[in-house]
Amino acid sequence: MKKMAMPKTGANMSEAFVAKWLVKMGDCIKDGDPVMEAESDKTILEICATESGIVSKLLVDEGTIVACGTDILELEGEKKLTG
């Protein structure tokens, strides 16, 4: 199980408003895929995945303010196809 934290995208950024999730539980994401739209200092930011895996849990709700460094989602390892 891996966790992804809210990144600090600017020198003065300490928190962000979770505007919209772009993924849901069960989605397979890759490092760099957009996972959330967040607002900080009147700017809309696209928050991207920092690791690859399957979204197992969204840890924060839309409409909440989250401090940078707070865990925002959990990932499981990518499923391997056999056959």
Q: pLDDT tens digit string along 4-53?
A: 999 988 788 899 999 999 999 999 999 999 999 999 877 899 999 999 99
In one letter, which amino acid is 70?
T
β-strand 28-29 against 53-58: which pairing, if any? antiparallel
* Predicted local confidence at residue 72, as pLDDT: 97
Q: Where are the domains of the chain?
A: 2-76
Spell 6-29 as b/e; 16+ CB within 10 A means b. bbeeeeebeebebeebebeeeeeb
Reported pTM: 0.86
Tell me the fold of 2-76: OB fold (Dihydrolipoamide Acetyltransferase, E2P) (2.40.50)
Contacts of 52 (CB under 8 A, 6+ apart): 29, 30, 31, 75, 78
What region does 9 belong to: left with phi over 0, alpha with psi -120 to 50, or beta? alpha
* Predicted local confidence at residue 11, as pLDDT: 81
